[in-house]
Structure 1
Amino acid sequence: MDWDDAYSNGAYIEGAEAYPPRWASEAAAYRASSNAEEDIAYGDGERHKFDLIQPNGDAKGLLVFVHGGYWMAFDKSYWSHFARAAISRGWAVVLPSYDLAPSARISEITEQVAAAVTKAAEHVEGPIMLAGHSAGGHLVARMACDGVLPEDVAARISRVVPISPVADLRPLMNTSMNNDLKLDETECAAESPVLQTPRAGVDVTVLVGAKERPVFLDQARWLSEAWSCDMVVAGGKHHFDVIDAFSDPDSDMAQMLFP
């Protein structure tokens, strides 16, 4: 099996190269038109910052949206417009950056996202929802595991939505990406959500596109089966547009998550 090809998304999405610049442009425009406070520090590192976008009036709760990029690409500035659905429905949204491989291991990135969620919880009261895309899907799933977040923060987590997550890291050891990720059996065992126990009482909904690469459909199914949680397969969606539901207040997913 060609593992690099199996986990290659852009090669199988028409116009894939246009997505990142479009995301960046739409995100910048949304930040400029919204009640956004940028670059709030949650740690000491240059990338240990998040943006907080507030709705009009008191927030019903907090959504933390964690970006993907195989733990090796992007930052918070590309994703602000994916807060639109939550904001329009009265939720505050935090979008964190984190260190990237190879300068950080995945286990360290998990710790950074936990620190970001913990700091964000100080800014907004009420329930906390976590959503993340691809590598971000892995990271929010890790937040749902026992012992990752402080107890007082973990107790506020109401729902976690891993979107096209990499829930089992072990296959990535067979890819050339592992030159930067530096995964080994020990880290895969500790960091793969499918091998961990989710916290009791947290609703988990796995979202994946019907037109994604087979391995991503497998990864979503593995997590759904391991955790006995719901899986939603979005018809007609691929790896890059499955997140569009979070920018559309009228999407079925938005209406389900933010009633």
Structure 2
Amino acid sequence: MTWSTREIAELSGTTVKTVRHYHEIGLLEEPDREPNGYNKRYEVCHLTRLLQIKRLTGLGLSLAQVAELGTAAHGHPSVFQEIDAELEATVERIQSVRQELAVLSRPGATPDVPTVFHEVAQPLRDNDRALLTIYSQLFSEESMDALRQLLATNPHEDLDEAFRDLPADADDATRQALAEWMAPFVGANRSVTLETKAGTFREAEAARNAVGQALQALYNPAQLDVLRRARELSPAMGTAPDQGAKEALGGSDDAPE
């Protein structure tokens, strides 16, 4: 018994267009034709091959990989191992996405900060939130977790508010007073060392430059000046590359002097 193109497509759960495409790329052998030279006569071997192709592509193989495998019974284990590794990575990504969606589904959740900062984001302002987003891209998960824990302690709400409310035209006395207030908390006991995700010196340098640009864009000159003065006044100055994490979310040494 033989089948027409339409019949073989229906039996294999595919389409006439797909069957013809497989012929064009050499994935499926052309069948014999009826004596009239027009109608094709598909046999069991063609149905078997179509079902093999369907199964393999359903497992994630590309048509090129299916062609490489051919019809050999032993196959190529490395191809299947590669697909399995890709699927494992996909599953991990999906699980991570689901975890984030679960957090964002909670009452009061906000999508404009990284999920890890959900519980401490409430008092933060737009510039703080933006900086957290940038930090999460540039710095390690361990650094972000340490920064989250520091923000969660929140023992100096008055200082935080004074810094965030500081106007760009604040006079020198106001800046100095705020810097002196802030300095004790910029030391080692209240600092976070932010380690970049960068794998090369060039990438690390790019990350530091990005932080500097972000600080200049998100905080006014008076605030940046206070951060600089506080670092200079801090007895622990120089113990970590990113001091004063509580103020300006870890005001970087890349802030303009």
The structure having more radius of gyration, on CA atoms, is 2
- Structure 1 length as normaliser, TM-score? 0.27
| Structure in which a larger fraction of residues adopt strand | 1
Scaled by the length of structure 2, what TM-score is found? 0.27
Instruction: Flag the structure with more relative contact order, 1 or 2, with Cα contacts below 8 A and sequence separation at least 6.
Output: 1
